[in-house]
């Protein structure tokens, strides 16, 4: 409502079709992304590979080193080819329609609370 933009970092388990985390903030740097991923890895273990877009947080030396240290292969999506990442694109669309475009937020806390509620519901009735 105050006009500030925010970003989301959506972590989806493509195999299990589960939303592992949606991180919400004004800025999501490579250092922040790797901290979030470390928290997930404590619970789920390290994946063999991660599919990401070409955003600066995923091409940054911090993220690249983090993946290399954990022997995680990075698969970059092909720009302009959403069908190559269909499940994640579908999740992003459902999330955008159900939360981001459907509600007005007064602050980031409200965005985080609604997102957390929505992710729990999504994982319960996974498509």
Q: Tell me the per-residue pLDDT of 94-109, one tens digit each, with 9 for 90 and over.
A: 999 888 888 889 889 9
Q: How many CB atoms lie within 10 A of CB 54?
A: 10
Domain 7-124: assigned CATH number: 3.30.420.10
**pLDDT tens column, 3-59:** 778 999 999 998 888 999 999 999 999 999 999 999 999 999 999 999 998 999 999
pLDDT of residue 78: 85
DSSP string, 1-47: --S---EEEEEEETTTTEEEEEEEES---HHHHHHHHHHHHHHH---
Q: What is the mean pLDDT of the chain?
A: 91
C-alpha span between 65 and 49 (Å, rounded):
14
- CB under 8 Å to 3, separation ≥6 — which residues? none
**pLDDT tens column, 62-80:** 999 999 999 999 999 888 8
Phi, psi of 83 (to 5 degrees): -70, -20
DSSP string, 65-110: HHHHHTTPEEEEPPTT-GGGGHHHHHHHHHHIIIIITT---SSHHH
Question: Which residue reads 């999330």 in tokens?
Answer: 95
Q: So where are the chain's domains?
A: 7-124
């Amino acid at each position: 409502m105050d006009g500030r933009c925010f970003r989301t970092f959506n972590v989806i388990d493509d195999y299990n079709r589960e939303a592992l985390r949606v991180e919400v903030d004004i800025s999501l740097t490579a250092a922040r992304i790797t901290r979030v991923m470390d928290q997930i890895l404590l619970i789920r273990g390290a994946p063999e590979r991660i599919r990401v877009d070409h955003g600066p947080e995923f091409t940054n030396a911090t993220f690249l080193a983090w993946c290399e240290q954990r022997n995680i292969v990075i698969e970059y999506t092909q720009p302009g080819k959403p069908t190559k990442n269909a499940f994640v694109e579908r999740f992003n669309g459902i999330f955008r329609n159900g939360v981001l475009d459907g509600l007005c937020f007064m602050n980031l806390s409200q965005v985080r609370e609604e997102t957390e509620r929505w992710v729990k519901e999504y994982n319960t009735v996974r498509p």
